[in-house]
Amino acid sequence: MRINTETGKAFVFSSGKNMGVFKGVGFPEDVAEFFCLEDYAGYLWTVHGRFPTNTPGWWGGAHPFNILDWTVVHNGELSSYGINRRYLEMYGYKCTMQTDTEVMAYAVDLLMRRQGLSVEMMAKVFAAPLWSEIDEMNPEQRRLNTLLRQTYGSLLMNGPFGILIAHHGEMIGLTDRIKLRPLVAGTRGDILYMSSEEAAMRLVSPSLDKFWSPRGGEPVVGKLRSQKAFETAMGTRR
């Protein structure tokens, strides 16, 4: 962030800690060929092909967005971008990529890495229940959700969204609270798939053991069981 805003001599739009983040403008197969993705192996992959509607189409605006070992791909549009951005700037984040998805990545980093919130708490911040729903909760849940909305009201992601969050050993899927953007999930063996469309998963794995459509605001979490599982997965793919 400091390179992009203070040096005036360089601009970084992709960097990862123990991960690769590949951005480009073009057809997916051309981007994959450009970066020689067939030479890479990994146990966790996220990808997003998009046609930008309200933001410039350029390499910096391509997904995933990342910071350290956190990445976010996002389908939707955030009407709360302005207040989200101003809140994050108070914690030293600087948005330079000209698209709303950037605040998602930085908000995930702030809540989960820096402040230690769980996936469930992060989901309650991004896709907070309506006040009318909070009023109907039991006292303990009502107090928790009220505190989260009062503390992190400026990180409520207002507008339709479906996101996939990935970092070391974990992948998370989440939509807005009334699910204005689709998200489906499926499993085959030990592999978890998530996508905005079932057809995309069926293309990769035509036969799934389980398939479901999560509720709005309900996170889907896949975790690597152990380092041994990671080594096995990587060994299998080599």
Q: Residue 223 corresponds to which tokens in the numbers above? A: 């975790």
Please give the pLDDT value at position 10.
Answer: 80
Specify the pLDDT at position 236: 55
Q: How high is the pLDDT of residue 151?
A: 96
pLDDT < 70 stretches in the chain = 1, 53, 226-238
What pLDDT does 170 receive? 92
Task: Domains for the chain: give ranges and CATH numbers.
Answer: 2-237 (3.60.20)
Name beta bridge partners: 188. Answer: 191
pLDDT of residue 164: 95
The Cα–Cα gap between 178 and 237 comes to 38
